[in-house]
Chain A
Amino acid sequence: MALLEVKDLHVSFNTDDGAVRAARGVSFSVDRGQTLGIVGESGSGKSVSTQSIVGLARGGSVTGEAIFDGRDLLTMHRDELQKVRGAQIAMIFQDPLSSLHPFYRVDWQICEMIRAHEPRTDAKAARARAIDLLKLVGIPQAERRVDDFPHQFSGGMRQRAMIAMAMALNPALLIADEPTTALDVTVQAQVLRVIERLQNEFGTAVILITHDLGVVAEIADDVVVMYAGAVVETADRDELFYRNHHPYTEGLLRSLPAYGGERARLIPITGQPPSLIKLPTGCKFHPRCPYAFDRCRAEEPPLALVYGSSSHRSSCWLPHTVEGRESTRAQLLGGRTVG
């Protein structure tokens, strides 16, 4: 059984200009100890979906199911959900500087986490655990640095401190929301290694939200691709990178500069992502899709199994077999080259 199974999640926010439909029928699941990568551009609903599951997307109306360890998080009482947060589902965020409280020492912030869920831990023991945690994430001279304020840490150290805090109660699930976006590549590599190591050590499941396909390729087991508030494709990593079905996934991969290849012209996805207030009809990607045909404009495709795989789903009207997709694709382009 999956550790977390999200089914048909809808999130919308009311604004002066109309309802923003941030998530529309999002479904995905994570198994124990696995890493799920959620990829999407800004505004695709990846952060909103995960934050609303744990009750952090305030002011939005949320429907659907989020079964965590057999219980639905969305119908759970506020106080119970509060006990799950931090203890069983921990989170880290994009900007570690603004995510740590500037007025409290790192020690205080980690101990607070421990004692909020294990009130009987005495101060000394909590502090010792905080130091151990900092050592675990590779902070040098943890005994001394534990008394620092967050602003005295470097960017990479802050994110490690966030990870240390998140792992304090050995959660079953870690939601990492763009954890390395604000960091330099060498520091990003360090932080990803730390997450990987802890995951192996503690068997934590990880949901890694990112816009960077490279990061996903490095550490995800399964991948969910989101566009305009909905899941457009989901598959295990290799399947997604080498046998993708949805034209958006294909477009994302093709628009990246090839590493090590020829300095060829890039093939971008045309146009701009849609506004979440006024979505296009039918398939939300059709205005930017090179293969769009009449049905795409009229009807939104369901997230259906493709290529005969038991886990690879795509929300696209192109035929669901490899050959069928390729030939239709070629037909639709009608001699035009993509881009």
Chain B
Amino acid sequence: MSGDVIVRATDVVKHFPVQSSSLRRGREVVHAVDTVSLEVRRGETVGLVGETGCGKSTLARCLARLLDLTSGRVEFDGHDITKLKPRDLGKVRREMQMIFQDPYGSLNPKRRVGSIIGDPFAVHNVASGQDRRRQVQELMELVGLNPEHYNRFPAEFSGGQRQRIGVARALALKPKVVICDEPVSALDVSIQAQVLNLLADLQQHLNLTYIFIAHDLSVVRHVSDRVMLMYLGKIVEGGPSEEVYQRARHPYSNALLSAIPLPDPRAAQERPRIVLVGDVPSPIDPPRACRFHPRCPKAQGRCVEEEPVLEPRLGDPTTHVAACHFPVAEGEDLTMARPTLSEEERIVEPTMVATPGESGEKELP
């Protein structure tokens, strides 16, 4: 299924200035993505998983060059696109498209569906008039919308249908790579499956490459060939889906997997529950060395001093890598693990909330 590398990221770093003080601006930064490298091969689906503020969406936007990188390098289809100016990004914009999370927010409420789906044509000046209309209607049919609804407004569609509109827009220019940013997390369960199936069908027919971002691990497992787990701006574990889900090495991966609510009472009772202490620390001042150490049930002195590298652990195949000094062996019971770090070393209390935007703080109007 997977072929040559179509997107390659090398040591991508993205820092955002803390937007609050003009005097201190530039001194404090949010470490959204910190030295992340990854490869995406043609035709595969790579899942990026992690909790709020882990940097998965930022990373994806760096890959699409919607954001400028602080440092590092991104290649698309063999070309370095790291330093391209906005006007030279045309090819990237055409061939790498995005599907967004919010089926309400991602469609302009004041524009008709036909014009929204036809936007890529208008922006890139391909197809116009009747030709554009015909192509848009073909796209609508492709994603399972009634082409007669060309002149309707987004408000007249249900959540699932709106997401189809977003998919149609992303496919208009026949992209090679589609970045799906939590495409189903705002949808009701009964609709989620419809959209996931649609995405799977389209991938097969159009030979698409997906970068699939989600916080729902079951969904990611369902769609992805390979997954990357992120925590506080870093990839902590990555590899083929089944490999990672069955033999998760990083304690964080294990905790995350054990926290997924299972719609199966017996299985839910049987599996170990690893409840992590505390919250995700602030990305403005992330913990030293291994960023997970303050919450890690296995943390030891080494975790505070030496940053673990992303490499195969415990005899795993080279494709399965984890960044942990004390990887979890099969059958190991993490619920029993007690860290050797003292309470002071395990500062579990976040001094500030993850991202400034969500804390509800505000600037003077």
Contacts and interface: CB of A to CB of B under 8 A. Distances in A.
B194 to A, nearest CB: 4
Interface string B248-272: 0000000110111111111110000
Given A184-B51, A186-B259, A263 B222 contact: yes
Contact of B264 (A217, A251, A265): A217
Interface string A142-154: 0000000011111
Interface stretch (B170-178, B320-328, B348-356): B348-356
Interface in A276-331: 288
A196 to B, nearest CB: 11
B207 interface: no
B260 A241 contact: no
Interface string B216-238: 01110110000000000000000
Contacts of A97: 358, 360
Nearest to B192: A255
B196 interface: yes
B265 A265 contact: no
Interface string B27-64: 00000000000000000000000011000000000000
B45 to A, nearest CB: 11
Given A256-B189, A257-B222, A268 B259 contact: no
B188 A190 contact: no
A155 B197 contact: no
Contacts of A187: 51, 279
Given A188-B261, A217-B261, A255 B189 contact: yes
Given A257-B222, A268-B197, A273-B188, A156 B279 contact: yes
Contacts of B260: 185, 214, 259
B200 interface: yes
Contacts of B78: none
Given A186-B256, A188-B259, A141 B188 contact: no
A255 B261 contact: no
B191 interface: yes
B191 A256 contact: no
Given A151-B360, A215-B261, A241-B265, A268 B256 contact: no
Contacts of B279: 154-157, 187
A62 interface: no
Given A154-B279, A185-B51, A257-B218, A41 B262 contact: no
A67 interface: no
Contacts, number: 141
A140 B348 contact: yes
A246 interface: no
B190 interface: yes
A187 B263 CA distance: 18
A253 interface: yes
A238 interface: yes
Contacts of B348: 140
Given A186-B255, A214-B260, A272-B191, A140 B265 contact: no
B261 A257 contact: no
B52 to A, nearest CB: 5
A154 B353 CA distance: 5
Interface string B148-178: 0000000000101100000000000000000
B363 interface: no
B256 to A, nearest CB: 6
A193 interface: yes
A70 interface: no
Contacts of B273: 189, 193
B265 A238 contact: yes
Interface string B9-37: 00000000000000000000000000000
A56 interface: no
A150 B349 CA distance: 15
Contacts of A241: 263-265
Contacts of A269: 190, 193
A237 B267 CA distance: 13
Contact of A268 (B191, B222, B278): B191
B361 interface: yes
B193 A266 contact: yes
A215 B222 CA distance: 19
A211 interface: yes
Contacts of A152: 353, 359
Contacts of A272: 158, 160-161, 191
Interface string A169-199: 0000000000000001111111001000000
A213 B267 contact: no
A59 interface: no
Nearest to B350: A154
A267 interface: yes
Given A41-B189, A184-B51, A268-B193, A213 B263 contact: yes
A186 to B, nearest CB: 5
Given A140-B278, A140-B348, A185 B221 contact: no
Interface string A234-250: 00011001000000000
Interface in A195-245: 211-218, 237-238, 241
Contact of B361 (A151, A211, A217, A256): A151
A273 B268 CA distance: 29
22 contacts: A41-B188, A102-B360, A154-B353, A185-B51, A186-B276, A189-B275, A190-B276, A213-B263, A214-B268, A215-B261, A216-B263, A217-B263, A218-B262, A241-B264, A255-B192, A256-B189, A256-B218, A257-B196, A257-B218, A258-B222, A267-B193, A273-B190
Given A193-B273, A257-B193, A268-B193, 15 more contacts: A140-B278, A152-B359, A156-B279, A190-B276, A211-B189, A214-B268, A216-B263, A217-B263, A217-B264, A237-B265, A253-B263, A256-B263, A266-B193, A266-B196, A266-B222
